[in-house]
Structure formats: structure tokens, C-alpha cells
Amino acid sequence: MTTIENAKQMAKRLRTSLAERNHELSDSAALEMVAHQLGYKDWNTASAMLPHEPASPAIKLEKAIPILRSFDEAKAREFYLDFLGFSVEFEHRFEADLPLYLGLVRDGLQIHLSEHHGDASPGTTIFVPMQGIEGFRDELIAKRYGFGRPDIVEQDWGKLLEVYDPFGNRIRFCES
């Protein structure tokens, strides 16, 4: 389908081609000729009827979803679901005996866990801005998780609560 931008390009090419043959043609005359070629009465009608090309979509980056390496499904579920309070968003395995790829979510925070070699490196740190860090700490302490009782550390810029998963990954929950 011809757009108004295509029609303008056609008029420009027509003027250039005729100029190379020593035939001068004004912009408006070239636009009128193209309008007639496209079946319109005149350029005003063509420009009113022809669609405009959609503007190039603006670049828009979405939030990142960290992928953390895991090695043991039971330990991952105990830590992320039971202790941190995440919910399973999805689970994927190519076959029953192949590695698990697990999507987790809590209050809009998405984390993916992968048992696939090469998806992520153990020992990754993710930084999670949040609100209500003291209530979150109290929630975690009340669960009496056997492998960690995190506490808040006051920094110049805010409060920090770090947890370490069973696979060496660290999550820094921060409130400024």
C-alpha cells in the first residue's frame, strides 16, 4: 500500500529523473503528477487520503529479570518459596529428567532459577530496591530458616538486608 511518505519519494525521484534529462519540474508539479498516477484528483486529496507511515517505535527497555543458577530443586523451593515467600509463576523442563527452569514472583519482583549449565554463574548478586524492609526482615526471622537469619545493615544511602541462597547467590534487598 502506498503511503504519503512513499508518494513524496516518488515525486522526488520523478523530479530527479527529469532534471537529468534537462526537464525542470517544480516540487508541487511533481506531487500533482504522482497524485494523478495514484488515481487522485490532486495532491491535496492524495495527501488527505493516503495513510502516513507509523512513526518508528520508540525504544523502551523493560525491567530486567535476573536468572540465578540453582542445583537442587528441593533446596531452591525451600529457600525461595518457603523462606522468601515467592510464588511459582511457571516451571519448564524439556523432558522429565532434564534440568528445571523456574519462574518466581513476589510483589512484582520476578526471578528465574535455572539448573541449565551456562544460563547463569553461581555467586551472582542482585540488587532489589524495596519498601518495608523492616517488616520483611521480621517476616524472614519469624520463619526460623535453618540456614540464615538476616538482619538490616544501615548504610549512608539506606538500609540493606542481604540473603544468600543455597547456591551461593546473594540478594541485596535495599530501602533508601
Give the domains, in start order, of the chain with CATH numbers.
Answer: 4-49 (no CATH), 67-175 (3.10.180.10)
CB-based contact 131:175 (threshold 8 Å): yes
What is the pTM (predicted TM-score) of this model? 0.67
| DSSP structure string for 36-99 | HHTT-SSHHHHHHHSPPPPPPPPP-------EEE-S-HHHHIIIIIIIT--EEEEEE-SSTTSP
25 C-beta neighbours (distance < 10 Å), count: 17
Tens of pLDDT along 84-137?
Answer: 999 999 999 999 999 999 999 999 999 999 999 889 988 999 999 999 999 999
pLDDT value for 55:
60
pLDDT value for 47:
86
